[in-house]
Chains A and B, each alone.
Chain A
Amino acid sequence: GQNIDQPTEMTATEGAIVQINCTYQTSGFNGLFWYQQHAGEAPTFLSYNVLDGLEEKGRFSSFLSRSKGYSYLLLKELQMKDSASYLCAPTGANNLFFGTGTRLTVIP
Protein backbone atom coordinates (compact mmCIF):
# COMPACT_ATOMS: atom_id res chain seq x y z
CA GLY A 1 0.00 0.00 0.00
CA GLN A 2 0.92 3.61 0.03
CA ASN A 3 0.74 6.40 2.53
CA ILE A 4 1.41 10.08 1.86
CA ASP A 5 1.25 12.71 4.56
CA GLN A 6 1.42 16.46 4.10
CA PRO A 7 -0.16 19.37 5.99
CA THR A 8 -3.68 20.22 4.94
CA GLU A 9 -3.35 23.98 4.98
CA MET A 10 -0.67 26.64 5.32
CA THR A 11 -0.71 30.42 5.27
CA ALA A 12 2.24 32.66 4.46
CA THR A 13 2.89 36.30 3.71
CA GLU A 14 3.70 37.74 0.30
CA GLY A 15 7.48 37.94 -0.15
CA ALA A 16 8.19 35.31 2.49
CA ILE A 17 9.54 31.76 2.23
CA VAL A 18 7.42 28.68 2.94
CA GLN A 19 8.37 25.00 3.22
CA ILE A 20 5.80 22.29 2.56
CA ASN A 21 6.77 18.90 3.96
CA CYS A 22 5.76 15.49 2.73
CA THR A 23 6.41 12.03 4.15
CA TYR A 24 5.58 8.97 2.11
CA GLN A 25 5.59 5.22 1.92
CA THR A 26 5.03 3.60 -1.45
CA SER A 27 6.02 0.37 -3.14
CA GLY A 28 8.00 0.54 -6.36
CA PHE A 29 9.36 3.99 -5.54
CA ASN A 30 11.58 5.61 -8.19
CA GLY A 31 11.25 9.30 -7.51
CA LEU A 32 8.97 12.05 -6.30
CA PHE A 33 7.07 14.79 -8.12
CA TRP A 34 5.54 18.00 -6.87
CA TYR A 35 2.56 19.47 -8.68
CA GLN A 36 0.70 22.74 -8.28
CA GLN A 37 -3.06 22.83 -8.63
CA HIS A 38 -5.15 25.99 -8.68
CA ALA A 39 -8.79 25.58 -7.73
CA GLY A 40 -10.81 24.10 -10.55
CA GLU A 41 -7.79 23.51 -12.75
CA ALA A 42 -5.51 20.64 -13.73
CA PRO A 43 -2.34 19.89 -11.77
CA THR A 44 0.80 21.29 -13.37
CA PHE A 45 4.34 19.94 -12.98
CA LEU A 46 6.66 21.78 -10.62
CA SER A 47 9.62 19.53 -9.85
CA TYR A 48 11.01 16.04 -9.82
CA ASN A 49 13.57 14.41 -7.53
CA VAL A 50 15.08 10.99 -8.05
CA LEU A 51 18.33 11.38 -6.10
CA ASP A 52 18.75 12.60 -2.54
CA GLY A 53 19.35 16.29 -2.24
CA LEU A 54 18.04 19.63 -3.33
CA GLU A 55 16.84 20.55 -6.82
CA GLU A 56 16.51 24.27 -7.43
CA LYS A 57 14.41 25.83 -10.15
CA GLY A 58 13.91 29.54 -9.86
CA ARG A 59 11.78 30.44 -6.86
CA PHE A 60 10.92 26.78 -6.25
CA SER A 61 13.22 24.12 -4.81
CA SER A 62 12.51 20.54 -3.85
CA PHE A 63 14.38 18.22 -1.54
CA LEU A 64 14.34 14.44 -1.24
CA SER A 65 15.63 11.96 1.32
CA ARG A 66 14.91 8.45 0.08
CA SER A 67 16.09 6.75 3.25
CA LYS A 68 13.74 8.84 5.38
CA GLY A 69 10.80 8.82 2.97
CA TYR A 70 10.75 12.59 3.17
CA SER A 71 10.52 15.48 0.77
CA TYR A 72 9.84 19.16 0.94
CA LEU A 73 8.95 21.91 -1.47
CA LEU A 74 10.43 25.33 -0.77
CA LEU A 75 8.83 28.43 -2.24
CA LYS A 76 10.73 31.71 -2.05
CA GLU A 77 9.64 35.30 -2.62
CA LEU A 78 6.02 34.28 -2.38
CA GLN A 79 3.56 35.94 -4.72
CA MET A 80 -0.21 36.12 -4.45
CA LYS A 81 -0.51 33.86 -7.50
CA ASP A 82 1.24 31.10 -5.53
CA SER A 83 -1.99 30.56 -3.60
CA ALA A 84 -2.87 27.02 -4.68
CA SER A 85 -2.72 23.41 -3.59
CA TYR A 86 0.65 21.68 -3.72
CA LEU A 87 0.59 17.96 -4.32
CA CYS A 88 3.32 15.57 -3.27
CA ALA A 89 3.40 12.59 -5.65
CA PRO A 90 5.79 9.70 -5.12
CA THR A 91 5.99 7.15 -7.92
CA GLY A 92 4.64 3.65 -7.60
CA ALA A 93 5.29 0.71 -9.86
CA ASN A 94 2.96 1.92 -12.59
CA ASN A 95 1.77 5.36 -11.65
CA LEU A 96 2.00 8.36 -9.36
CA PHE A 97 0.31 8.45 -5.99
CA PHE A 98 -0.96 11.77 -4.77
CA GLY A 99 -1.42 13.08 -1.27
CA THR A 100 -4.43 15.19 -0.41
CA GLY A 101 -2.34 18.26 -1.06
CA THR A 102 -1.42 21.30 0.96
CA ARG A 103 -3.60 24.33 0.37
CA LEU A 104 -1.34 27.38 0.56
CA THR A 105 -2.86 30.80 1.07
CA VAL A 106 -0.60 33.80 0.46
CA ILE A 107 -1.71 36.94 2.24
CA PRO A 108 -0.58 40.53 1.59
Chain B
Amino acid sequence: DSGVTQTPKHLITATGQRVTLRCSPRSGDLSVYWYQQSLDQGLQFLIQYYNGEERAKGNILERFSAQQFPDLHSELNLSSLELGDSALYFCASSVGFREEQYFGPGTRLTVT
Protein backbone atom coordinates (compact mmCIF):
# COMPACT_ATOMS: atom_id res chain seq x y z
CA ASP B 1 0.00 0.00 0.00
CA SER B 2 1.62 3.22 -1.23
CA GLY B 3 -0.58 5.54 0.84
CA VAL B 4 -2.04 7.13 -2.31
CA THR B 5 -5.75 6.55 -2.78
CA GLN B 6 -7.76 6.82 -5.97
CA THR B 7 -11.49 6.63 -6.53
CA PRO B 8 -13.34 5.12 -8.18
CA LYS B 9 -11.52 1.90 -8.94
CA HIS B 10 -13.53 1.24 -12.09
CA LEU B 11 -15.64 3.52 -14.24
CA ILE B 12 -17.72 2.60 -17.27
CA THR B 13 -19.30 5.39 -19.24
CA ALA B 14 -20.48 6.29 -22.72
CA THR B 15 -18.87 8.39 -25.41
CA GLY B 16 -19.52 12.10 -25.04
CA GLN B 17 -19.86 11.91 -21.26
CA ARG B 18 -17.80 13.61 -18.58
CA VAL B 19 -16.16 11.94 -15.57
CA THR B 20 -14.11 13.01 -12.58
CA LEU B 21 -11.31 10.93 -11.09
CA ARG B 22 -10.16 11.64 -7.58
CA CYS B 23 -6.78 11.23 -5.90
CA SER B 24 -5.61 11.68 -2.33
CA PRO B 25 -1.82 11.90 -1.99
CA ARG B 26 0.29 10.39 0.76
CA SER B 27 0.25 12.38 3.97
CA GLY B 28 2.86 15.14 3.69
CA ASP B 29 3.28 14.96 -0.09
CA LEU B 30 2.78 18.26 -1.89
CA SER B 31 3.08 17.09 -5.49
CA VAL B 32 0.43 15.17 -7.40
CA TYR B 33 0.96 13.71 -10.87
CA TRP B 34 -1.54 12.22 -13.30
CA TYR B 35 -0.65 9.54 -15.85
CA GLN B 36 -2.55 7.64 -18.51
CA GLN B 37 -1.67 4.03 -19.30
CA SER B 38 -3.39 2.42 -22.26
CA LEU B 39 -3.51 -1.36 -22.59
CA ASP B 40 -0.01 -2.82 -22.45
CA GLN B 41 1.46 0.61 -23.03
CA GLY B 42 3.82 2.86 -21.16
CA LEU B 43 2.88 5.71 -18.90
CA GLN B 44 1.95 9.02 -20.48
CA PHE B 45 2.55 11.96 -18.18
CA LEU B 46 -0.47 14.26 -18.18
CA ILE B 47 0.02 16.95 -15.58
CA GLN B 48 1.65 17.77 -12.24
CA TYR B 49 0.50 20.00 -9.40
CA TYR B 50 2.62 21.21 -6.54
CA ASN B 51 0.98 22.68 -3.46
CA GLY B 52 -2.13 23.70 -5.37
CA GLU B 53 -0.46 25.13 -8.45
CA GLU B 54 0.14 23.60 -11.85
CA ARG B 55 3.83 22.85 -12.20
CA ALA B 56 4.25 20.85 -15.38
CA LYS B 57 2.07 19.84 -18.28
CA GLY B 58 2.56 16.81 -20.46
CA ASN B 59 0.46 15.32 -23.21
CA ILE B 60 -2.84 16.35 -21.72
CA LEU B 61 -5.71 16.86 -24.14
CA GLU B 62 -7.74 20.06 -24.06
CA ARG B 63 -10.78 17.95 -23.13
CA PHE B 64 -9.00 16.99 -19.91
CA SER B 65 -8.39 19.27 -16.96
CA ALA B 66 -7.17 18.86 -13.42
CA GLN B 67 -6.83 20.76 -10.21
CA GLN B 68 -5.35 20.38 -6.75
CA PHE B 69 -7.38 21.59 -3.81
CA PRO B 70 -6.20 23.28 -0.58
CA ASP B 71 -6.30 19.93 1.24
CA LEU B 72 -3.94 18.68 -1.54
CA HIS B 73 -6.30 16.12 -3.02
CA SER B 74 -6.58 16.31 -6.79
CA GLU B 75 -9.22 15.69 -9.40
CA LEU B 76 -8.82 14.87 -13.08
CA ASN B 77 -11.80 15.82 -15.23
CA LEU B 78 -12.26 14.09 -18.56
CA SER B 79 -14.96 15.44 -20.87
CA SER B 80 -16.42 14.65 -24.31
CA LEU B 81 -15.10 11.15 -23.81
CA GLU B 82 -14.02 9.09 -26.79
CA LEU B 83 -13.41 5.35 -27.12
CA GLY B 84 -9.68 6.03 -27.22
CA ASP B 85 -9.79 7.52 -23.73
CA SER B 86 -10.32 4.05 -22.29
CA ALA B 87 -7.25 3.44 -20.15
CA LEU B 88 -5.87 3.09 -16.66
CA TYR B 89 -5.39 6.47 -15.03
CA PHE B 90 -2.77 6.64 -12.29
CA CYS B 91 -2.21 9.32 -9.76
CA ALA B 92 1.15 9.57 -8.03
CA SER B 93 2.47 11.82 -5.29
CA SER B 94 5.84 12.94 -4.03
CA VAL B 95 7.16 15.15 -1.28
CA GLY B 96 8.46 17.83 -3.63
CA PHE B 97 8.99 17.75 -7.36
CA ARG B 98 12.25 15.85 -7.70
CA GLU B 99 11.80 12.87 -5.45
CA GLU B 100 10.46 9.41 -6.07
CA GLN B 101 6.78 9.10 -6.89
CA TYR B 102 4.33 6.87 -5.07
CA PHE B 103 1.57 5.58 -7.30
CA GLY B 104 -2.02 4.89 -6.39
CA PRO B 105 -3.85 1.73 -7.51
CA GLY B 106 -5.31 3.49 -10.55
CA THR B 107 -8.79 4.07 -11.97
CA ARG B 108 -9.74 1.89 -14.92
CA LEU B 109 -11.90 3.90 -17.31
CA THR B 110 -13.90 2.14 -19.99
CA VAL B 111 -15.67 4.25 -22.57
CA THR B 112 -18.33 2.38 -24.58
Do A and B make up one complex?
A: no
Interface positions of A (Cβ within 8 A of B): none
